[in-house]
Amino acid sequence: MEFTYDRVKYRELLRTKSNLGDIQLTLPRVPPSVLDIDIRDEEITPPTDVQNGCSFPLCTSSVFEGQISEANYMTLGDDVKKVISCYIHVKDLDVSFKPGDAIAILPCNLDTEVEKFAVYLKVKDVLNKKCSINIQTSVKKKSNFQHIPTITSLNYVLKYCVDIRSVPKKAMLLILSECASDSFEKRCLQELCSREGSALYNTHILEPGATIQDVLASFPSCQPPLGRILELLPRLLPRPYSIASSPLISPHSVRIVLSVVEQPVKGLCSGWLHDVLAPLLGTCKEPLEKQMGELSLKPKQTVLVPVSFRRTHNFNLPDDLSVPLILIGPGTGIAPFIGFLQHRSAQKKTLHNVSFGEIWLFYGCRYSDRDFLFRSDIYKFMEEGILSRFFISFSRETTNNGVKYVQDNIKKHAQIFIQKILEERAMIYVCGDGKNMATDVWKTIVHLISSEKGIPEEEALSLLLNMQEKGTYKQDIWL
């Protein structure tokens, strides 16, 4: 896999435009050196503990090897994103999870990228040798490095422990500037991390998402010592995936639905999962329903991935089952709602004399026949009366009558929507893309409250903010 950035163009950009002239620069303070690294000419068997056995941030269980033996494509064709459904077995684990929670999966860096990085750091020949990494005794915050084993190999650290694709912070650029032998390169790097060059940092580093490797490629005279780089590289973090199943229906496994990121670069976790799940995946040439039916015919194989449960802070079902719910989740944003609906289905079968509130679902995808996730499950929930109303939008079909996105369907049914939230006190759940969709849905609802109630937009906004504060407008979104 190669980065899609045009490295040559990027290098030109840095070298020709990041010149602030001769002005005096205000540089950040040099962070003290904290790691002592010693590499011996001995082979070592890599450690088996994931990231030195260190727990993942925000997670509620220890890290364990999730077994995946079923995986399937849920979409078809080139003009939709690849979406994979898989089940992670959690049998024999003493953990509890609820619909709305997520499971965090730790990817690893690609071997090709690790090797390239090792070349920049001039450590390619010793990648698999025994390496001791110790924190200097004077360092107070030792916890920052707990994810790196003390006795290890550099290959293990670069592959499993640190984020070698991270965007360098200014402290890193400063360290790099100190290690550049070419005076022009040194000046450029100083400018990028200086107070005076903060606009340059934004346009040349932050906005293009330049990685430490891009910067090292752009400044070849820069020969940073390994320790300085390792101590400034952030920890490689797991990615959360919403649980799309209910523990009442499948207590020993959790289902996840994964959108494979291919642009602007291959996603580290989703791309890696796509690769490791390849032996389990169908050919993607059969219609969706047929592929699902063929699952049981595939030979049984198991893929192991490091995972941990991650509890949501507020995206669970309410305790009061009579509260009406409005679920809004286009694309893979539907994942937790399938868990909600399964859960409600199981509750309806076992809890008697309980009044259950209505559940409405607003879902959107591109085409009715290519990326309509969970189509048969949704219609089954409708038939069973678990789902009271279902509103679907197809963004790329010409016959959608102006209902392109979930928010267009909300607008189309404005009157009943507003009545449901303001008079019947329905709770709203929004899941999925936080950059555009969640903001557009929010704005649409503010606007509709204002027009339906005949109140100013500011008043409608404070009403919605109030719902959010009380926990009746909930979002689980990814920015």
Ligand X SMILES: NC(=O)c1ccc[n+]([C@@H]2O[C@H](COP(=O)([O-])OP(=O)(O)OC[C@H]3O[C@@H](n4cnc5c(N)ncnc54)[C@H](OP(=O)(O)O)[C@@H]3O)[C@@H](O)[C@H]2O)c1
| Per-residue x/- track, 220-259, ligand FAD (CB under 6 A) | -------------------xxxx-------------xxxx
What are the DSSP calls for 28-43, one per residue?
PPPPPP-EEEEEEEEE
Among 190, 242, 253, 316, binds ligand X (CB under 6 A): 242
Q: Measure the CA–CA gap between 161 and 410, rounded to whole angstroms.
A: 44
Partner whose binding site includes residue 269, from ligand X, ligand FAD, none (CB under 5 to 8 Å by kind) = ligand FAD
Cα–Cα separations (whole angstroms), residue 87 to 16, 69, 138, 317, 413:
50, 7, 46, 22, 36
Q: Measure the CA–CA gap between 3 and 265, rounded to whole angstroms.
A: 6
Looking at the DSSP bridge assignments, the partners of residue 8 are: none
Listed as own residue / partner, the contacts of 377-384 with beta carbons closer than 8 Å and 24 or more positions apart are 377/338, 377/341, 381/341, 381/345, 384/345, 384/348
Partner whose binding site includes residue 267, from ligand FAD, ligand X, none (CB under 5 to 8 Å by kind) = ligand FAD
Q: Measure the CA–CA gap between 244 and 86, rounded to whole angstroms.
A: 10
Q: Measure the CA–CA gap between 465 and 328, rounded to whole angstroms.
A: 17
For ligand X, which is the closer residue by CB, 196 or 440? 440
For ligand FAD, which is the closer residue by CB, 212 or 269? 269
For residue 98, what are its two tokens?
A: 């609820």
For residue 266, is it left (φ>0), alpha (ψ between -120 and 50) or beta?
A: beta
Contact status: 440 vs ligand X (CB under 6 A): yes
For ligand FAD, which is the closer residue by CB, 131 or 373? 373
Partner whose binding site includes residue 440, from ligand FAD, ligand X, none (CB under 5 to 8 Å by kind) = ligand X
Q: How far is the CB of 466 from ligand FAD (least distance, A)?
A: 24
Spell out the residues 6+ positions from residue 473 whose beta carbon is closer than 8 angstroms to its own.
427, 428, 430, 464, 467
Contact status: 365 vs ligand X (CB under 6 A): yes
For residue 159, is it left (φ>0), alpha (ψ between -120 and 50) or beta?
A: alpha
Partner whose binding site includes residue 364, from ligand FAD, ligand X, none (CB under 5 to 8 Å by kind) = ligand X
Q: Measure the CA–CA gap between 125 and 319, rounded to whole angstroms.
A: 58
For ligand X, which is the closer residue by CB, 237 or 365? 365
Spell out the residues 6+ positions from residue 150 whose beta carbon is closer than 8 angstroms to its own.
132, 133, 134
Shortest-Cβ-distance residue relative to ligand FAD: 267
| Per-residue x/- track, 398-427, ligand FAD (CB under 6 A) | ------------------------------
Q: Measure the CA–CA gap between 197 and 466, rounded to whole angstroms.
A: 41
Contact status: 267 vs ligand X (CB under 6 A): no
- Which segment (111-119, 228-236, 266-274, 285-293) binds ligand FAD by CB under 6 A? 266-274
| Per-residue x/- track, 202-231, ligand X (CB under 6 A) | ------------------------------
Partner whose binding site includes residue 258, from ligand X, ligand FAD, none (CB under 5 to 8 Å by kind) = ligand FAD
Helix (H, G, I), strand (E, B) or coil at 298: coil
Q: Measure the CA–CA gap between 440 and 326, rounded to whole angstroms.
A: 16
Near ligand X in 334-363, by CB under 6 A:
335
Please calculate the CA angle 266-272-275 and round it to the nearest 5 degrees.
105
Contact status: 405 vs ligand X (CB under 6 A): yes
Q: How far is the CB of 338 from ligand X (least distance, A)?
A: 11
Among 271, 282, 324, 357, binds ligand FAD (CB under 6 A): 271
Contact status: 316 vs ligand FAD (CB under 6 A): no
Q: Measure the CA–CA gap between 312 and 97, rounded to whole angstroms.
A: 10
Contact status: 71 vs ligand FAD (CB under 6 A): no
Among 433, 449, 464, 473, binds ligand X (CB under 6 A): 433
Contact status: 288 vs ligand X (CB under 6 A): no
Residues that bind ligand FAD (CB under 6 A): 102, 107, 209, 239-242, 256-259, 261, 264-265, 267-271, 332, 335, 476, 478
Interface with ligand X (CB under 6 A): 81, 242, 259, 330-333, 335, 364-366, 395-396, 405-407, 431-433, 436-437, 440, 476-478
